[in-house]
Amino acid sequence: MEQGTTPEDPEDAEAVAWCREMEDFLCNKYLGSTDVSRYREVRLFERGDRLFSGKPDMVAVGTRRALVVDYKFGRLPVAAAECNLQLSALAVLVMDMFEDGAVDEVFVCILQPYASRKEPAVCRYTRESVEQARAFFQTCIKLAQDEHAPLKPSEKACRYCRAQSSCPAVSLALVNVTSSDLTAAWEQWTPEKRREAYDLAKLAKKWAASVEGKVKADLRAEVEIPGLVLAPGKKAFTITDAAAAFQILNGLFPDGITAQAFTACCKVGITDLDKLVHAVRKAADAGAKVAESKDWLRKTLAGCAEVKVSDGSVKEVEGGAA
């Protein structure tokens, strides 16, 4: 979206195309035209003390109105526009792009093509609501800069922080949650305490992965760490051209290595097959969608395939945080 290019992957290309269409639709709906100035990935600073900055994915500017679009290509829904703090901060920054009176309204929204293809919810900021948001963020910054501010680490709060491995609050939290007998303590813990332990466990996994990465880097650099060496990587022999491999083996053993015997040794990559089938269907019908091709393939091959269901994973639900 930033570079204006089209991805090679058909599903990604379809998502990008939808975003571009929706961007034009929103410009027309909220700014009255698609013939507007658009800025992409431009760093903006709060006027005055420049306490915070941001880089909106796209800002479109019309007559006394601006539209901010943030693109999220993850598959998990994020906070809605009306309660999204990132969009609220961007509304302040976009209003500050212009001289007083040049822009009276800023509309903000999120496009998530892998989570929903519906028209997104749009939140409107006036000059009054922008000043309210500015006051809120200034208060947040003041509290955060207080040297006595309480530190409450969690996987969600620390997800994008680069100081996890050196943060004393993270270290203390991990010590607190791992110092007790988990089996004995678990039955005594409240549901809220169990949720807190779960969040810290996720944080501990990231911390542990960071430690392992640093240890590997040290060993590669021949830094000695007592009792540890870097084991050689395992070799993996992979057939990259199945058709050529079959021709060679079938030519040598035509009666023993038949097409049926050879394919019994193969595992079909469903992702690659999805792309192949979609490319063929799209060549026959330009309106074919990736999701439709996937559904068609699974129905067509139902008799020679199986569906396995995993044990499932823990999923956060909105409003369920401790």
Residue-by-residue pLDDT tens, the chain, 322 positions: 888 888 989 999 999 999 999 999 999 999 999 999 999 999 999 987 889 999 999 999 999 999 999 999 988 777 777 789 999 999 999 999 887 768 899 999 999 999 889 999 999 999 999 999 999 999 999 998 898 888 888 777 887 788 877 788 888 887 776 777 788 888 888 998 888 888 888 888 887 888 899 999 999 999 999 999 999 989 999 999 999 999 999 999 999 999 999 999 999 999 999 999 999 999 999 999 999 999 999 999 999 999 999 888 888 776 555 4
Dist. CA 26–CA 24, nearest whole Å:
5
Q: What's the confidence (pLDDT) of residue 159?
A: 79
Phi, psi of 122 (to 5 degrees): -120, 135
Which residues, other chains included, contact 136 with Cβ-Cβ below 8 Å and sequence gap of 6+? 88
Dist. CA 146–CA 193, nearest whole Å:
27
Q: What are all long-range contacts of 128-136, with beta carbons under 8 Å and residues at least 24 apart? A: 129/91, 130/91, 130/92, 130/95, 130/106, 133/88, 133/89, 133/91, 133/92, 134/46, 134/92, 136/88
Which residues, other chains included, contact 28 with Cβ-Cβ below 8 Å and sequence gap of 6+? 34
- The amino acid that residue 165 corresponds to is S
User: Which of 34, 43, 33, 95 shows the shortest CA–CA distance to 66?
Assistant: 95
Q: What's the confidence (pLDDT) of residue 200?
A: 81
Q: What's the confidence (pLDDT) of residue 319?
A: 53
pTM of the model: 0.71
Cβ count near 58 (within 10 Å): 21
User: Reduced to 3 states, what is the DSSP secondary structure of residue 147?
Assistant: coil
Residue with tokens 């509290």, as numbered in its chain:
143
